[in-house]
């Protein structure tokens, strides 16, 4: 059934009456704003919601609030931002609505505003000092899929899941890649980490350029570790998470024993800007065998080839499980390719990082 509401309150009532497969929602509505309407819908009868947003700093802030309230994804109000003509716009809207309709509303419970100090994961591990990465020559991004080594798992191999935790392991850097559902997922993971987290973190979230500064600021306010949008030349250090800027590509370059961020223009040949494969590929080259890659909820398969490069260099990969993913696309691609060492629920990932990385 199809319905149209003239205000937020009517939208909540129609959602409960019609029980649609998906809802499109604007923030600016009379009687009840979009965020309040999303909260009511998620409380009464969770239904996937696609928000329409302005691509401004304030629009980013509002959209992030809507995602935290339970919305699945967003599109810009100005359709010229995403399509050249009506036929392309129609295709994009249909694909996005279908993807959102297949999401899991029950997996979008609000993220905690800050990790509770009473949780075991909040205990700060002893600092392990600055990582000492090995020098590696500067290389440009290579997004070609590398050939799998002889005897590597096939594309349909079932993912492995380990019930027991091994000893803590030192990683030179942790890379986390995500897309749809990622803003809330990253918040749930990062708010658990102590200020003394002993490894640098690089974050890749598919997001417009106008959104990443507001998202980094939000995470920094909520987390014990420092979080900010990455800039060209930033030095990686423990307890610092650097978020790839929207519309560009982020690489990690390890020269002379010091790891730095390189920010490059967004390559028009790549679908994603930023792209997880590009960042993870640079981590595989800069820190062979010393990186932990984590793939969270998201549409598509970005990150699979970057994870393959990490595995070929001897590094470890974790992926989010299907049940806790809003969209089980990116983590499924990595797991089906046989690249995952651990398949974890969203609520397991933060504590595992806090307790198992030294």
Between helix 304-312 and helix 276-286 the angle, nearest 10°, is: 10
Q: Spot the catalytic one: 302, 316, 321, 342.
A: 302
Q: Which residues, at least 6 apart from 84, have a Cβ–Cβ distance to it below 8 Å?
A: none
Q: Looking at 103, 122, 179, 282, which residue is catalytic?
A: 179
Nearest to 258 by CA among 227, 224, 235, 228: 235
- 320 phi/psi in degrees, rounded to 5: -75, 145
Whose CA is closest to 212, among 222, 227, 223?
227
Residue (of 62, 68, 39) closest to 186 by Cα position: 68
Query: Tokens in use for 32?
Result: 């009840």
Say which residues have a Cβ less than 8 Å from residue 332's Cβ, sequence separation at least 6: 322
Among residues 342, 350, 275, 343, the alpha carbon closest in space to that of 306 is found at 275
The single residue of 54, 206, 210, 234 carrying the catalytic annotation is: 206
Q: Is 45 an active-site residue? A: no
Residue 71 · residue 49 · CB < 8 Å: yes
Report d(CA 295, CA 318) in Å as an integer.
Answer: 6
179 flagged as catalytic: yes
Q: List the catalytic residues.
A: 179, 206, 302
């Amino acid at each position: 059934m199809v319905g149209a509401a003239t205000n937020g309150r009517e939208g909540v009532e129609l959602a409960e009456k019609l029980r649609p497969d998906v809802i499109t929602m604007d923030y600016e509505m009379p009687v009840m704003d979009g965020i309040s309407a999303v909260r009511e819908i998620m409380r009464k009868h969770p239904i996937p919601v696609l928000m329409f947003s302005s691509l401004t700093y304030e629009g980013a802030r509002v959209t992030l609030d809507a995602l935290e309230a339970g919305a699945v994804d967003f599109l810009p109000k100005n359709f010229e931002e995403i399509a050249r003509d009506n036929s392309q716009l129609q295709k994009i809207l249909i694909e996005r609505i279908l993807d959102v309709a297949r999401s899991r509303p029950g997996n979008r419970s609000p993220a905690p505003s800050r990790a509770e100090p009473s949780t075991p994961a909040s205990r700060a591990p002893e600092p392990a000092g600055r990582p000492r990465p090995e020098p590696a020559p500067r290389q440009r991004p290579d997004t070609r899929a590398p050939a799998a080594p002889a005897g590597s798992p096939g594309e349909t191999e079932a993912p492995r899941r380990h019930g027991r935790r091994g000893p803590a392991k030192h990683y030179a850097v942790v890379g986390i890649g995500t897309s749809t559902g990622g803003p809330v997922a990253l918040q749930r993971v990062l708010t658990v980490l102590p200020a003394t987290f002993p490894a640098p973190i690089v974050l890749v979230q598919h997001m417009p350029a106008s959104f990443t500064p507001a998202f980094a600021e939000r995470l920094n306010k909520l987390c014990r570790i420092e979080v900010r949008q990455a800039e060209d030349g930033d030095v990686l250090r423990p307890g610092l998470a650097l978020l790839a800027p929207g519309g560009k590509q982020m690489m990690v370059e390890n020269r002379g024993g010091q790891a730095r961020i390189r920010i490059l223009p967004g390559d028009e040949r790549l679908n994603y800007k930023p792209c997880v494969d590009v960042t993870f590929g640079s981590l595989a080259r800069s820190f062979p065998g010393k990186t932990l890659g984590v793939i969270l909820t998201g549409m598509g398969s970005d990150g699979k080839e970057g994870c393959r490069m990490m595995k070929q260099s001897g590094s470890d990969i974790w992926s989010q499980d299907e049940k806790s993913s809003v969209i089980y696309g990116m983590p499924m691609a990595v797991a089906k390719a046989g690249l995952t060492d651990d398949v974890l629920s969203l609520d397991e990932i933060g504590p595992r990082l806090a307790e198992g990385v030294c």
